[in-house]
Structure 1
Amino acid sequence: MYKPVWFPRREMIEQTRLYRLMQKLGYEDYDAFYQASIKDIGWFWDEVAKDMSLAWTVPYTKAVDLERGIAWPRWFVGGRLNISANALDRFAEDPARRHQLALIWEGDDGSTEKLTYRELLREVNRCARGLRELGVRRGDRVALYLPMIVENVVAMLAIARLGAIFTPCFSGYGAEAVATRIQGCEAKWLITADGYKRRGKTVAMKEEADRAAQLSPSIEKVIVVRRLGRACPWHDSRDVSWDELMKKMEPLPPVDTDASEPLMIIFTSGTTGKPKGTVHTHSGFPLKAAFDAGYAFDVGPGDVLFWVTDMGWMMGPWMVFGSLLMGSTMLLYEGTPNYPQPNRLWQLVERHGVTHLGISPTLIRSLMKEGESWLKGNDLSSLRVFGSTGEPWNPEPWMWLFEQVGRKQIPIFNYSGGTEVSGGILGNHFFKPIAPCGFAGPLPGMDADVWDEQGKPVRGEVGELVLRQPWVGMTSGFWQDDDRYEEAYWRRWPQTWVHGDWVAIDEEGQWFITGRSDDTLNIAGKRMGPAEMESVLVDHPAVLEAATIGVPDSVKGECAVCFVVLKAEPDTGEEMERELIHFVGEKMGKALKPKRVLFVDELPKTRNGKILRRVIRSAYLGRETGDLSSLENHTAVEIIRKMGDNHID
C-alpha cells in the first residue's frame, strides 16, 4: 500500500458543493456526515434530491420503500418527473442560464460544434418529434450505435423525453455484439451513422449496423446520421436519414414519467451467459451520476467535464447526465487522444478550458511512453481534477500523471463502481488525503465494507467488496431476468450486495482495489465476460471449444488470451492463430481482440463439464491453482502451465 501524497487545503474544501450541503445539514466533519448518510439512506437521498432542485411534476411521498427487500428498492415513491426536462428545460427557461454552453464537440479533424442549453433543447425537441412520428412511444426500446458526436446526446435525451428507453452500444463493436444488445431488449429502432473519423481514417458504421439489423428481427427502422456524407448501402423501406427525422421544429412537451420508469438499458457482461441488461430509471442513474459528478468531483456551473470514453460504456451517459443536471458543460471528442500527435489530449484541455478530465490508467501508460516533451507548451491551468476509472492503477503511471502533468497540484480522483451502480462505490474527493492508486473510501450514501470468506469485516488483508444497503442508481434488476440479477449480487450473503472486486483497507484507512474476484475481463477499462468472446470463437467453423481469460498487460492493464480446441489439426498454428484473432476483432471490434489464441487438445473441466477459467488463468500465469478436486482432466492444466512459461507481459 502507499502513503498519501496529495492533501486537501481548508479553503479548497469550503468552496465545494459537498461542503455546502454538509453545512446545510448541520455537519462540519466529513466522517460524521458519511456515517449519517448510511445510517438513514432515505433521509440522505431525500436531502440530495432537494439540494439538486429537481423539477417534479408530482412530488414524491417517500424517498425509499423497501417493502420488496433491499434488492428491490423503490425510490421517490409516487414522484413523477422527466429527466430530459431536468437536464435541459429548467436551464433553457432561465434567462441567466439559457445561453450557457451545454455541449462542446470536437472531431478527429479538429472541427468543432458548440450548443447552449437553449440550442440543445431545440435539437432534442426536433429529434423527439421525428421519433414520435416514426412510432416511438413510451416504454419502447431504441438502440444507439453512434460515435461520439452531438447526435448521440441529442438522441439519448429525445428518447428520454418520449418516455422511451435507450440502449447505448460501443461504437467499436462489430455487428454480432450490437445485435446481441438489440436482441437482448428487443429494440425496434436503431440509430447509427454512416461512419466517423479515427486517426485520420474513415471508420464505416452503416455496414455493421445493417448486419446487426439483419440479425435482429425486432428492428423496424434504421436512422442514419450522415456524419461523413459517404456513399453507403441504403434500404429505402427501412432506412431513415437523420436530416429527415429532424425536420419538425415545434416544441414537444416531455412525457410525464413515474420516478421508477426505465430510462436506459445498458448491457454489461459477467462471467457466463449473454450480456446482462442493467435497467436504470429516470430517478436512478441520472441522480447518482449527478451526485457523484457534482458533489464528489465538484462539477458545477462554469466547469467543463471531459471524460475520454464512449457512449456504449457507462461513463458516457454518466458524463451527459452528470454535467447537464449540474448545469455545467460536457466535451465530446470523436477521435483518439494521441492523434495526430501525443499532445492532442492536452491541446483539448487548453482549447476548451477543461476543468475535470477523466482518463484511464491505460491511456496514461500510453502517453507516458512518449515522454514529458509533449507536455511542454500546453496551458493546463484550467484543470482542477483528474478523474480515473475503469481499472486499477500501478504506481508509475499514477505518479507520472500526478507529478509531471499535474505538477503535484491537481488531485487524481480514483473512482470505482460499475454499470450496475450508475457511478461509484469508492472514490476520492476534496475532504481526504489521496494515496497513489488508492481511494479515500466509500462515497456518501454507499454503505460499503470489505469481508472475508466468512462474511466478517477485514482490515489489512484482501477481501470482497460488499454493500449492506441499497442506493439511488442501483440497477432495477436485469431486463426480463430477475433471477439472474439476484443470483449475481444477492445470493452469497443474506441482504448483502457482493460486487465482485477484491479490496484491501490499509492501516491509514486508504482503500485499494486489487482485482476482480470473478472471471470478468477488464480490457483497457472495458469490461467483458469471457463467454461473449468464447461464443464468437466457436462460431468459427474450425473451432470446437474455447475458453478466454484475462492476463496482465503493460499497456491495457489486461488483455484476453484464448484457449481453443479445434475440430481438426491446423495446417499452420501461427496462421490459424492470426485468423482467429482477426475473426474476433471483426466480430467484436478491434479494441477487444485477443492478444493470443493458443491451441489445446482439451480444456480443464469439472466432472459436470464446467470449464474452470480461474484454473486456466492461474496455470498460465504460473500461480497456485488451488483445490483441483473437482477437475476431470489434470493433464490439461499441466499443458497450459507449460504454455504459460513462454508468456511475456
Structure 2
Amino acid sequence: MAIVIPNRSSTLSIELRDGDISWQDFLERVDKSKEVEYIGVELPVEASTNILFSSGTTGEPKAIPWTATTPLRAAADGWSLNIGKDDVVAWPTNLGWMMGPWLIYSTLLNGATMALYNGSPLGAGFAKFVQDAKVTMLGVVPSIVRAWKSTNCTAGYDWSSICHFASTGEASGVDESLWLMGRAQYKPIIEICGGTEIGGGFIAGSLLQPQSLSAFSTAAMGCSLFILGEDGSPRPFDSPGIGELALGPLLFGASSTLLNADHYGVYYTGMPVWNGKVLRRHGDVFERTSRGYYRAHGRADDTMNLGGVKVSSVEIEKVCNAVDESILETAAVGVPPPGGGPDKLVIAVVFKDSKGSKDNLNSLKVSLNSALQKKLNPLFKVSHIVVLHSLPRTATNKVMRRVLRQQFSQVGSKL
C-alpha cells in the first residue's frame, strides 16, 4: 500500500490504485481509531519487549532481550536530556540499532514528539527537515557530523529552534563538536555513552554541570562507575587515571539474560567485588581527568566502534578475507587518531605469496571498502592497509590484535 501525498494542492489529480490511500484519508484514520478500544495485557516485569543483536560489550554478537523495565531506562535518559512535552526530537537511527527503540521510548514516554525523516541524513534534505520540523533536540553520530562538515550541506538552513544536541555511538572530536554547535548559535552538545545490553546510557554529560567538549561529566541516572586499576581493583572515585570501566551491578533496565550466551559468564565472571557485590563488565577503557571529566578510549577487547556501530574484528575480517584470492589472512583493529575522535579502521594484511600485491594497495583498499559497506555497514571505511609477513599470535594461536593496535597507535599520525 502507498500513501499518496498531493504535490501542490490539498486534492489529488490522479486516480489511485486499488489499496492505495491519499494523505488526507490517512490523517482521517486518526479520528476513526479513537473509537477502537485497546486493552492492556498484564505481563511480568521480565517479559521481553524486543530483542536486539549486538556485540554486547565483548566477543561474538549476542541476542539481548529488552524487558518491560528497559523502556523506563531509556525514558530516564530522555528526562535527563530535558526532553519534555514541548520538544521535537530527531535522531538519525533505525530499529536495528538500540537508538531506534531508545528514541521511541525516551521521546514518547516523556510526552515529546518524534521527527522522523525517511532517507539519508547525510545531505541537505535532512538539514531542511530539521529546519522545517523545528527540531528542539537533535541527536547525532559523530560520523554524520563529519559528513555534514565536509560537504557544508547544512549551509543556509535555520537551526535556531535547536536547544541542544546529543551525541552518541562513537567518540566525538573537538573540531567537529565546535562546528556542530555553530550551526545552532552555539547550543551545547550532551555526550552519551551506553550499550545495547544497558538499554541506554551509563555515562553522560549534563545540562546541570559545566561541560567539556567531547567529554562526559557524570554517571547516567541510576548508574555507578568504576575505573579499574592495573591490579583489577577499582580506583578511588575522585582520583584521575585510566583503565577498563566497570559498572555497579544494580542497574535498572539492563539485561539479565542472553538468548545465545551465558549472561553471568559474559558480564560478571572474573570481575572484582565491591561492597560485597560483583561489578558488571562493560569493556570500554575510560579516563578520569584531573578536572573530573571522563573521556572514552575505545574497547578493551577486540570489539571496535566504527561509525557509531559496535562490531567485532572477526566480522570485519571475514569480509576482508574473501575480497581477494591473494589474501591469506587479515586482522582488523580500531586505532584512535592522535588528536582524538572516532577510531580509524586499519587492516593488517598477510598475502599468500610473499611478494603479494603491495603494488595494488589502493585498488585493494577500494575493494575492501566496497565489500564492508555492502555487507556490513555503509559507514565503515578502511583508513589504512598495513602489509605484514605474519600476524602476532599467542601460544594458543590466537591473533594478538592488542599488539597490532599498540603498534599502529604509535605511528597513528602516519595512518
Task: Using structure 1 for the length normalisation, give the TM-score.
Answer: 0.53
Does residue 562 of the first structure (1) align with residue 341 of the second (2)?
no
Q: What is the SS of the residue equivalent to 2:332?
A: strand
Indicate how the Cα distance of structure 1 residues 113 and 432 shifts in structure 2: closer, same or farther if over 3 A, else same. Answer: farther
Would the aligned equivalents of 1:490 and 1:496 in 2 still touch at CA under 8 Å?
A: no
User: Does the 8 A contact of 1:581 with 1:597 survive in 2?
Assistant: no
Partner SS for 2:194 = strand
Deviations 1:409-431 (A, max 9, x none): x2211111111111111112232
Q: Which residue of 1 aligns with 2:332?
A: 548
1:398 paired to 2:180: no
8 A contact 1:549–1:616 mirrored in 2: yes
AA of the residue aligned to 2:235: P
CA drift at 1:263: 2.0
Query: Structure 1 residues 555, 370: closer, same or farther in 2, change over 3 A?
Result: farther
Instruction: Name the structure 2 match of 1:336.
Output: 120
**Cross-structure match for 2:297:** 514
Counterpart in the other structure of 2:5: none
User: 1:425–1:446: 8 Å Cα contact kept in structure 2?
Assistant: yes
- Distance in 2, matches of 1:441 and 1:114, equals 48
Superposition TM-score, scaled by structure 2 size: 0.80
- The verdict on how the C-alpha distance between 1:536 and 1:362 changes in structure 2, with shifts beyond 3 A counting, is closer
- Classify 1:113/1:292 alpha carbon distance in 2 versus 1 (closer, same or farther; 3 Å): farther
User: 2:240–2:292: 8 Å Cα contact kept in structure 1?
Assistant: no
Partner SS state of residue 259, structure 2: coil
1:601 match? 389
1:591 and 2:370 matched? no
After superposition, the CA RMSD in angstroms is 3.3
Distance 1:116 1:497 in 2: 47
2:90 is aligned with 1:306? yes
Counterparts of 1:116 and 1:470 in 2: how far apart (Å)?
44
Find the residue that maps to 1:560 and give its secondary structure: strand
1:37 paired residue number: none
Q: Which residue of 2 aligns with 1:407?
A: 185
1:491 offset after TM fit, Å? 2.2
2:415 is the counterpart of 1:617: no
Is the Cα–Cα contact under 8 Å of residues 563 and 597 in structure 1 kept in the other structure? yes
Shift of the 589–400 alpha-carbon distance from structure 1 to 2, 3 Å rule, reads: closer
Give the whole-Å Cα distance in 2 for the aligned partners of 1:317 and 1:367: 25
Q: Deviations over 1:66-96 (max 9, x none)?
A: xxxxxxxxxxxxxxxxxxxxxxxxxxxxxxx
Q: Taking structure 1 as reference, are residues 385 and 560 closer, same or farther at Cα in structure 2, changes over 3 Å only?
A: same
One-letter amino acid matched to 2:65: V
Deviation at 1:565, TM superposition (A): 3.2
Shift, 1:446, TM fit: 0.6
2:248 matched to which residue of 1? 468
Structure 2 distance, partners of 1:462, 1:114, is: 58
In the TM superposition, what is the alpha-carbon distance from 1:113 to its structure 2 partner? 10
2:159 counterpart of 1:380: yes
Residues 523-558 of structure 1 deviation map (CA, whole Å, 9 limit, x = unaligned): 121111101112233455724432111124699822
AA of the residue aligned to 1:457: R
Mind listing any 5+ residue stretches in structure 2 that lack a counterpart? 1-22
How far off is 1:265 after superposition?
1.8
Partners in 1 of 2:288 and 2:24 — Cα distance?
45
Residue 292 (structure 1) aligned to one of 69, 72, 77: 77
Residue identity over aligned pairs, in percent, reads 29
User: Is the contact made by 1:450 and 1:457 (CA closer than 8 Å) also made in structure 2?
Assistant: yes
Tell me the CA shift for residue 358 of structure 1. 0.3
Deviation at 1:260, TM superposition (A): 0.3
Matches within 5 A, 1:392-541: 392-402=171-181, 404-408=182-186, 410-454=187-231, 455-458=233-236, 459-482=239-262, 486-494=265-273, 495-539=278-322
User: Is the CA contact 1:304–1:328 (under 8 Å) kept in the aligned structure 2?
Assistant: yes
Q: Is the 8 A contact 2:298 2:343 kept in 1?
A: no
1:171-213 CA-to-partner distances (Å, cap 9, x unmatched) read xxxxxxxxxxxxxxxxxxxxxxxxxxxxxxxxxxxxxxxxxxx
1:319 paired to 2:103: yes
Deviation, 1:347, is 2.1
Counterpart-to-counterpart distance in 2, 1:556 and 1:385: 20
For the residue of structure 2 that corresponds to 1:336, the secondary structure is: coil
Residue of structure 2 in register with 1:263 after alignment? 49
Q: Deviation string for 1:109-135 (max 9, x for gaps)?
A: xxx999989849959xxxxxxxxxxxx
CA distance in 2 between partners of 1:382 and 1:315 (Å): 23
AA at the equivalent of 1:369: S
The amino acid across from 2:214 in the alignment is C
Distance apart, 1:598 and its partner CA: 4.3
Please state if 1:361 is matched with 2:145.
no
CA distance in 1, matches of 2:310, 2:25: 32
1:544–1:588 CA distance, 2 compared to 1 (3 A): same
The CA distance in 1 between the partners of 2:100 and 2:306, in whole Å, is 17
The structure carrying a bigger helix percent of its residues is 1
Cα distance between partner residues in 2 of 1:622 and 1:114: 62
CA contact (8 A) 2:58 2:266 kept: no
Task: Provide the C-alpha distance between the structure 1 equivalents of 2:340 and 2:143, rounded to a whole number of angstroms.
Answer: 6
CA contact (8 A) 1:362 1:556 kept: no
Greater alpha carbon shift after TM alignment, 556-565 vs 608-617? 556-565
Q: Aligned partners of 1:618, 1:430: CA distance in 2, in Å?
A: 36
Distance in 2, Cα, partners of 1:121 & 1:425 = 42
Q: How many residues align?
A: 381
| 2-structure distance, mates of 1:584, 1:337 | 20
Compute the displacement of 1:481 (Å).
1.2
